[in-house]
Chain A
Amino acid sequence: MELLKRLASSPIACALALAACAGCMLVDALGSRGRSLVFSHRLHCVEEELACVSCHESAEVEEAPGMPAPDSCAVCHDELDAEKPPELAVAALFDAEGAYRARGASRLEDEVLFAHLPHVSGVQDCAACHRGIETSRAVDRSVAVDMEACMRCHAERALPNDCAACHTEITRAWEPPSHASDWKRVHGRAARRTDPPPSDDCTLCHAQASCDSCHRVEEPENHDAYFRLRGHALLARVDRDGCAACHEPQTCDRCHADVLPLSHRSAAFGGTRSMHCLTCHFPLQGEGCVTCHKSTPSHAGPPKPDWHTPAMDCRSCHGSSLPLSHVDNLSNCNLCHP
């Protein structure tokens, strides 16, 4: 909730959220304008037990898939539609020229190579390709045979499954529409799907190995000289998750075992009792000294036992005769060890 409150107080975040919501609503509103044609295959195939070729008369003998003509329907519907309102009569399925209005539902792109008749004679079972159509209640894209069905059937029958088997324009070099806009930034989620349909399957064109070529070999462009020497520390402390995209925990030690931070390289720097730590890192336990100085665990947290109180005189027990290796020589213990 706290995050939501703070988000709500950020004008840019609010503007983006509103733009995103408005965009989606507009898109859905525009998308819902095209409605499916109401035709129940269930009624005809299951309840009336009609065979496919009863309506699709030429499907088994002609090249065209044999979409029903008004005359075919009229055999039964002249009588059935006599008292129906016009929008529910079978005539509503056809346009003025007598063409089936829903023929576009299964229309293929012009660049797709497909002949219906060889598939009819080769498969000899309409349901093998048109799975589930017999129980559908509308004619829309959901009844169309998709690429996954084609590829599955081709694979089962050891038929060619490469792009050129069905496409004249789509090759491996062709970029799908989704790749046009900002795809580089958003492709990750699609690429991680376990069993995507073929139209979303990256491996149709890309070997899985190509992920590594970009994600593990090339450095990001912001890894310039300054970033390598100093800038990385700022981004690591702000957003370590960003580093984790490529690096693992050992990365830090790998370099910092050999390399001193730039600020520690001056000849004047050093000495266990100098002020060098406190100049930049104060209080110590909240800062990053222990990142490298792992042998000084006292810096990571207050070493004072619970029964110590601020009123106690530290020197009465600690370092009463010898100076200790603290920059203040124990003059103000409570400053760092509250």
Chain B
Amino acid sequence: MTPSDPTSGRLTTRYRARFTDDESDHDLYQTLDLLLADPEGHWTGALLARATWDVDGTDPDSDFYSLADTYEHRLEGQLYHAYVDLAQPELALLRLGRQTLYETPVTLVFDGLRADLAPRGSTRAQGGVFAGIGEHPYESSSDGDAVLGAFAALRPWDGAELRLDWMHLEDERLGTEHEDDLLGLVLGTELGRREDARRSQLETRFTSLEGDARDLRVSADHLDPARGLTLQASYYELLRSQQDLAAPLDPFSDSLFELFPYAQATLSATKDWRSFALLAGTDVRRVEDEDDVGEYNRDFERYWLTGSVPEVLSLALTLTGEVWRSDGNDYETWGATLARPLDGGFDLALGSYFALYEYDLLSAEERDRVRTTYLDLRWKRTRAHAWRLRYEYEHDEIDDFQEVRLDYEWSF
């Protein structure tokens, strides 16, 4: 929500307990999502932070060891964003602090400054700059990390957007310095818009890394809320191999090596008939050169289908399935959920899903099955206070896991 009060936000407390026959793990989380506004209108601010306390500690050999346990202390904090927006007449935005950029060709988190000029003229011409230190939550030091960038944008015609980005990224990790310049170009336009919010859109995104074409994405959407219809199609092509790049650009090449050029097409459709809704889609990826297909560069096809019936004996039923096919390294999930709102602000959901992981290791196909059943109870006591209790039982090839999670959310 945009801040209309001087102080607003949410404080969420979570207790999570996990068990197997041999082990247990208890964690506490406190998340603060805060918006501040100066009553005089000179500034607004936002903060999102989480403290995690591993109550009983976790050993690296434990089945419960995870990314959150790789930090030095059992009590750790994570600052997702903390910034102040200062109101300036000539600027659409002047932001200082830790912030995330979603509009740029790659999403960027950094500590620094962002200034966007207010749009001018009939074409709404606009520009902006940002600079700071790149923020990498899983890196121990920010030495050698820097970001710098600028953008220019305008509306060449009604319903269209043209945007040019330049990003300079520096990142030092594992003793290696990476320095990359990325150019991005976006051209998007509405193909039609009608009174009932029905619209069609077409968008092209192109980026160039160090002067060489990097990737291209063309996507089209059609939204028709009145008919409950959504259609999407996109085509993406990675035009050159990617390796050893600054953190936001790097394709995990330290671990997964070079990412070779590939093309990927996605199609999806949603139709809501009020008494029944269906979502279906597919992704198809092909590595450009068959000789490049290997352990970490794979062709795959992915299909997903979700059907939901909002009222079956006063219950909402959702059935969903997702299948990945990739030369023996296949993955599929199938699930069902029954949900029902109850009196007094309660919502109850009971669900189960099954996942099958298939590994093709030296032609000895291995199939790991995971069955999960859960019960989810939510209680919105008032607008300000909400509770959630979730129990999950997971049976797989490794062990039987149980998880209990209790959330309390205070909105103010």
Contact = CB atoms under 8 A, between A and B. Distances in A.
Interface in B235-261: 247-248, 250-257, 259
B272 A236 contact: no
Interface string A88-122: 00000000000000000000000000000000000
B250 A249 contact: yes
B226 interface: yes
Contacts of A226: 355, 357, 368, 370, 394, 396-398
Interface of A: 2-3, 6-7, 10, 12-13, 16-17, 19-20, 23-24, 27-28, 31, 141, 162, 172, 176-178, 180-182, 185-186, 189, 191-195, 203-213, 216-217, 222, 224-226, 228-231, 234-241, 243-244, 247-259, 262, 265, 279-282, 286-288, 290-291
Contacts of B399: 225
The 5 closest A-B pairs by CB, nearest first: A177-B225, A209-B46, A182-B270, A252-B255, A250-B138
Given A12-B282, A226-B394, A209 B35 contact: yes
Contact of A240 (B4, B119, B296, B301): B296
A185 B277 CA distance: 15
Nearest to A203: B2
Nearest to B193: A141
Contacts of A186: 221, 223, 230, 232
A161 to B, nearest CB: 11
B284 A3 contact: yes
Contact of B192 (A31, A237, A254, A290): A31
Given A12-B303, A181-B223, A250-B139, 19 more contacts: A12-B282, A23-B222, A24-B222, A177-B196, A181-B229, A185-B270, A189-B221, A193-B188, A208-B102, A222-B333, A231-B357, A231-B370, A238-B300, A238-B326, A240-B259, A243-B252, A247-B138, A250-B173, A288-B295
Contacts of A3: 263, 265, 284, 286
B21 interface: no
B388 interface: no
Contacts of A249: 173, 247, 250, 252-255
B328 to A, nearest CB: 10
A105 to B, nearest CB: 10
Contact of B200 (A24, A287, A290): A24
B269 interface: yes
Contacts of A291: 255-256
Contact of B294 (A204, A252, A286): A286
B152 to A, nearest CB: 10
A177 B194 CA distance: 12
Contacts of A172: 1-2, 4
B254 A252 contact: yes
B281 interface: yes
Contacts of A286: 294-295
Contacts of A203: 2
Contacts of A257: 70
B372 A224 contact: yes
A131 B372 CA distance: 59
Nearest to B325: A238
B26 interface: no
Contacts of B331: 231, 234-235, 238
Nearest to B335: A221
Contact of A16 (B18, B197, B282): B282
B60 A13 contact: no
Interface stretch (B61-69, B206-214, B310-318, B342-350): B61-69
Interface string B110-140: 0000000001000010100000000011110
B295 A178 contact: no
Interface in B169-211: 173-174, 188, 192, 194-198, 200-201, 203
A179 to B, nearest CB: 8
B80 interface: yes
Given A141-B195, A230-B357, A211 B265 contact: no
B70 A258 contact: yes
Contacts of A290: 257
B80 A253 contact: no
Given A224-B372, A248-B248, A212 B80 contact: yes
B28 interface: no
Nearest to A291: B255
Contacts of B232: 186
Interface in B341-391: 355, 357, 359, 361-362, 368, 370, 372
Interface string B129-165: 0000000111100000000000101010000010100
B219 interface: yes
Contact of A13 (B50, B224, B284, B370): B284
B74 interface: no
Given A20-B267, A211-B102, A280-B362, A248 B138 contact: yes
A194 B103 contact: yes
B70 to A, nearest CB: 5
B197 A259 contact: no
B223 to A, nearest CB: 6
B7 interface: no
Nearest to B351: A221
B280 interface: yes
B231 to A, nearest CB: 5
Contact of B3 (A20, A192, A207): A207
